Chains A and B, each alone.
Chain A
């Protein structure tokens, strides 16, 4: 099976859910509607032998503007990975269905995507930050994120020029 075959069978099965291809080089990806991603991944897992999910990650596109969740389901049968991209509105309310019930690998990856981008995953069993401290404010991998000068009253970084805080906000 090739990427084209997967795309054809997916668009036949989900005429509404599959929004098209992104012909990026060297690896192309499939655009999926946010409401359909759970069903698409379930179909991929159960019918098309995509046994594993390698990665869930986020991307921030301030120019579009959009937040994007990228899924990399992998197949040992077809020896391939098909990236799926879900575009969400670029707000703090961006949310998409969790796929932790399909692939347990999604659990921590979705937590990390929430931690870094503030994308919420509905029905996630353990929706917490994972890498940053739990009381961290803001989502560091957003492009407009400003590195804070203080964390819980402690100056970060510890060496300011002329002892004055640099640019950025205080927590």
Chain B
């Protein structure tokens, strides 16, 4: 048989073994896409030849709405961008408007903001941990992650009245003050949660099956990060020690001590899916450290600066960025001196993360494509805005 085939010539051999390429629509309704993302995958057997993300299914015209609202009314829309990290989002927007107004936020508000946004970072990374575990076939991780995230949501419900979209970080401070029993609840949570990270690492991160599924795939090196404008966990997973909380400290981040965890290629290649996962896990420990340093020393005073009911920043432009769980969230705001922003542009980190998908998935197996999408940790609300 072998000889016969060889005698027929190479061209004919290729013809007889030709397999059809299959166009596979992954999503927009698919559990592994983490939202309404559609990926048009061209496969050759199990091998992915091309994976083109099609976005826009969740487009809600944030920027158009922002131009029609006054500055305060934009804030709730901002919450709905990255709905898993609403606190970080609205803090970023508040900082952008405050830099235009030139107002100083009271110390108490800064403390509350940083504590709450670090809690939100833990909640967001727990979500990422849980859903990534689910993608990799570890259902337990999902249940554990959600159980602990629930405790953070309880704290947020107590301070803001909402469980997902809080509208808590207002321009000039926070919506409400926090009470001593909330402080106690946060302390209790830290005591409970601190050993859990280790447990989750033992359960999932260092699990042999998980490591084998995530090592050496979806490798993003530093050059790719730079050309695609990737920030946050992607950048740190690729080995660059860059965190806006250290490099451009906003709020009171320069007063607290914490490390920047980076990927080291411990289980395979530097910048692979496992590296990004371990960076998220280590960041949770650093967030706990930050909260522990601040929680006992919240100063007395007002929780919101005196800003008028109508906010009119002087004409000008500001580009401010903050470190969100998924990367650097930027707000480019142009004011023309009226009560409504002339232009609000949101630079979304997830938008950049998902744009790399085609490059990352050339020649990988379909199952690895799922692992890669999971490790990008996208939220479609922020991709589509």
A25/B332 in contact, CB under 8 A: no
Bound-state CA distance A59–B351 (Å) is 19
Residue of A22, A27, A130 touching B56 (CB-CB under 8 A): A130
**B347 interfacial contact with A, CB 8 Å:** yes
B229/A24 in contact, CB under 8 A: no
Q: Which residues of A contact B30 (CB under 8 A)?
A: none
Smallest beta-carbon distance B246→chain A, Å: 10
Please give the number of chain A residues whose Cβ is less than 8 angstroms from any Cβ of chain B in the complex.
34
B229/A53 in contact, CB under 8 A: yes
Please give the number of chain B residues whose Cβ is less than 8 angstroms from any Cβ of chain A in the complex.
41
> Using a Cβ cutoff of 8 Å, how many contacts connect chains A and B?
92
Bound-state CA distance A51–B230 (Å) is 11
**A103 interfacial contact with B, CB 8 Å:** yes
B55/A141 in contact, CB under 8 A: no
Bound-state CA distance A101–B342 (Å) is 31
Would you list which residues of chain A between 81 and 135 have a CB under 8 Å from chain B?
81, 83, 103-105, 107-108, 116, 129-133
Closest residue of chain B to A85, judged by CB? B317
Bound-state CA distance A129–B321 (Å) is 26
Smallest beta-carbon distance A162→chain B, Å: 24
Bound-state CA distance A72–B318 (Å) is 12
B347/A54 in contact, CB under 8 A: yes
**A76 interfacial contact with B, CB 8 Å:** yes
Bound-state CA distance A29–B22 (Å) is 48
Smallest beta-carbon distance A63→chain B, Å: 9
Q: Give the dominant DSSP class at B's interface.
A: mixed
Binding stretch for chain A, among B59-67, B70-78, B279-287, B360-368 = B59-67
Q: Which residues of A contact B139 (CB under 8 A)?
A: none
Residue of A55, A104, A130 touching B332 (CB-CB under 8 A): A55
Q: Which residues of A are at the interface with B, using a C-beta cutoff of 8 A?
A: 22, 24-27, 29, 51-55, 57, 59-60, 70, 72, 74, 76, 79, 81, 83, 103-105, 107-108, 116, 129-133, 140-141
Q: Which residues of B contact A130 (CB under 8 A)?
A: 55-56
Q: Which residues of B contact A24 (CB under 8 A)?
A: 315-317
Q: Which residues of B are at the interface with A, using a C-beta cutoff of 8 A?
A: 55-56, 59, 61, 63-64, 67, 99-100, 102, 225-229, 231, 240, 242, 247-248, 314-319, 321, 328, 330, 332, 334, 342-343, 345, 347, 351-352, 355, 359, 384-385
Residue of B63, B100, B247, B352 touching A26 (CB-CB under 8 A): B100
Q: A55-B319, A60-B343 are in contact. List 8 more A-B contacts (CB 8 A).
A: A24-B316, A26-B100, A27-B318, A57-B332, A59-B343, A103-B228, A104-B227, A108-B351
Q: Which residues of B contact A132 (CB under 8 A)?
A: 56, 59
Closest residue of chain A to B52, judged by CB? A126
A107-B355 contact given A24-B316, A27-B319, A131-B384, CB 8 Å threshold = yes
A55-B330 contact given A76-B240, A107-B355, CB 8 Å threshold = yes
Bound-state CA distance A103–B334 (Å) is 25
Bound-state CA distance A107–B352 (Å) is 10
A116/B316 in contact, CB under 8 A: no
A52/B319 in contact, CB under 8 A: no
A105/B59 in contact, CB under 8 A: no
Smallest beta-carbon distance A99→chain B, Å: 11
Q: Which residues of B contact A107 (CB under 8 A)?
A: 355
Q: Which residues of B contact A104 (CB under 8 A)?
A: 227-228, 355, 359
A116/B63 in contact, CB under 8 A: yes
Closest residue of chain B to A83, judged by CB? B319
Bound-state CA distance A57–B351 (Å) is 13
Q: Among A79, A108, A133, find the residue whose CB has the most chain B CB atoms closer than 10 A.
A: A108
Bound-state CA distance A105–B61 (Å) is 21
B332/A51 in contact, CB under 8 A: no
A105/B64 in contact, CB under 8 A: no
Q: Which residues of B contact A59 (CB under 8 A)?
A: 334, 342-343
B317/A27 in contact, CB under 8 A: yes
Closest residue of chain A to B317, judged by CB? A24
Q: Which residues of B contact A79 (CB under 8 A)?
A: 247-248
A57/B345 in contact, CB under 8 A: yes
Residue of A54, A55, A108 touching B355 (CB-CB under 8 A): A108
Q: Which residues of A contact B355 (CB under 8 A)?
A: 104-105, 107-108
Smallest beta-carbon distance B361→chain A, Å: 15
Closest residue of chain B to A102, judged by CB? B227
Q: Which residues of A contact B384 (CB under 8 A)?
A: 131
A105/B352 in contact, CB under 8 A: yes
A131/B242 in contact, CB under 8 A: no
